[in-house]
Amino acid sequence: MENNIDFYTYLWKRLPLILMFTNGYIIYRLLVITKLTDTFVFWSLEKSRGRVNRICLYIIMVTALLSFFIPNAVTVLILLPILKTIEQDIVSQTDGISLSTALTLSVIYGANIGGMGSLIGSPANLLMIGALDLYSVPGREQISFFSWFLWSVPLVTLFAGAAWILIATMAVPKQAKSITIQLEGAANHGPVPPEQKAGALLFFFFLFFWIGESVLKEAVPVFESAESPVCLSFFALFLYFAFIRLGPAAAPLLHPKDMITGVPKRGILFLGLLVLLILIVRFFRLDKQAADVLLSVISPDIPLFAMTFLTVITVIFLTELLSNTVVSTAFFPIAFYVSIGRGISPLFLMIAVSIASTCAFMSPVATPCNALAFGEMKGTSFRKMVVLGSMLNLIGAFLMSVWLQFIIPFIYH
């Protein structure tokens, strides 16, 4: 009976986080169903004014921003028809110059980098929260929707900037750098429909609440006792606006069937199997044994930065060959025990595993994003993908290691 009470107490305490991830999923479906994502992409590309380097920059930034809130593979699927149209426009308006490689790498880099930008941006983050709770890692309660943005947005911006510089200097053909393209596919698509305006308002309502809730929790300690009821009330109100309240077209913005249409059922089953795997590993203490082996080969005098960098780069390159969820699931317990063995907080190394597992740029099979973009965009150079991807892996590992040692501790202390 006591175990049941503990479980329900834990569930009530973690209810805001559960509701936030659930709300994030509904927002993802809202953005896709109302086609707000398409409108945002068209609007952004119009700002590039047809300059090739700017087109690549806007694709990276738009893809990254969308991947904050919707699965990055879905983001790539949304962008692919637009990228194909841009490629056709370029080929038809020049002497057969192809921008396929630059466009493909832009969407891949943006989608993978954007996955680390939000707490709800990657399944690895959800697994990380579960692992933090499983091992009762101190400081885990400081991780919130807003606090994640404080360090992730600057990191994503720097990361995306480095990706753009690589593409602009090494992937865009020299003869294409000085030309201006008329983007027929990104032409003005008319006024924004009423349902999209309503969807945009609901999206900002979502952002305003969860950011405000995170700030209030930090600024007003007594709010913690009312946090779960307040979040539950907001979630009920959000559901009312999304599913019940009639929109401008005399119909709800979303229908229950929209929640399962196009949902990757195999992916959900896969996540369930991973959770089961975590419990089995934990039960047989295989995680502790693996960490002991790793600690035996790591010099006790290795600097913290070097250990962080080695962890990040190992996770990144393993993700090039294996699923990022598999890699992160395997490395969370190792990161925990290695940190305990070194006498440091496991929080930062476990965050390192989570964000590093979203960053794999050199292999077409590393992530669904890479496979979709490389497979659909004909003419993409495999050699350039490997070379530039490996360079961005190293740059990203360095940036993440710097952030994990010098920036994130100021936020989670």
**CA dist., res. 362 & res. 380, Å (int):** 13
For residue 99, the SS3 value is coil
The confidence score (pLDDT) of residue 51 equals 77
Question: Torsions phi, psi of 253, nearest 5?
Answer: -65, -35
Question: Percentage of the chain surpassing pLDDT 70?
Answer: 81
Q: Return left, alpha or beta for 181; rule: phi > 0 is left, psi -120 to 50 is alpha, else beta.
A: beta
Name the residue among 317, 314, 313, 403 with its Cα closest to residue 360: 317
Q: What is the mean pLDDT of residues 103-109?
A: 91
Question: Sorting pLDDT into bands at 50, 70 and 90, what band is 342?
Answer: confident
Find the range with the poorest average confidence among 167-176, 201-210, 295-304, 337-346: 295-304
> Given this model, what pLDDT does residue 41 score?
78
pLDDT at 272 > cutoff 70: no
- Per domain, the residue ranges of the chain are 2-183+191-411
Could you give the 3-state DSSP secondary structure of residue 44? Answer: helix
The pLDDT tens digits for 284-306 are 665 455 445 555 555 556 788 88
Chain segment 387-399, per-residue pLDDT in tens: 999 999 999 999 9
pLDDT attached to residue 351: 93
The three state secondary structure string of 134-146 is: HCCCCCHHHCCHH
396 phi/psi in degrees, rounded to 5: -65, -40
Predicted pLDDT at 165: 94
Average pLDDT, the chain: 80
Q: Considering only CA atoms, which of 61, 74, 76, 70 is closest in space to residue 27?
A: 70
* Structure confidence at residue 357 as a pLDDT band (50, 70, 90): confident
Cα–Cα dist 397/306, whole Å: 11
pLDDT at 110: 93
pTM recorded for the entire structure: 0.82
State residue 36's pLDDT score: 83
pLDDT in tens, 44-100: 777 777 677 888 888 899 899 988 988 777 788 778 878 887 777 777 776 767 788
Residue 277 pLDDT level (bands cut at 50, 70, 90): low
Tens of pLDDT along 211-263? 999 888 878 878 888 889 999 999 999 999 888 875 555 578 888 887 776 55
